[in-house]
Amino acid sequence: MVERLAQQQYRRTIGSITSVSINIYN
């Protein structure tokens, strides 16, 4: 249960960073 929650947070963080990177490069 804890692992799944951590994985969701990890994915959300990766997604946020990716979005920021895309915005910067565009």
| pLDDT tens digits along 1-12 | 788 989 999 999
Dihedral, 21, 23, 24, 25 alpha carbons, nearest 10: 90
Write out the two tokens for 1: 């249960």
Sort 25 into a burial class: Cβ within 10 Å, 0-12 / 13-18 / 19+.
exposed
Residue type (1 letter), 19? S
Q: What is the pLDDT of residue 16?
A: 96
Predicted structure pTM score: 0.56
The residues spanned by each domain of the chain are: 1-26
Please compute Rg for the chain using Cα positions: 11
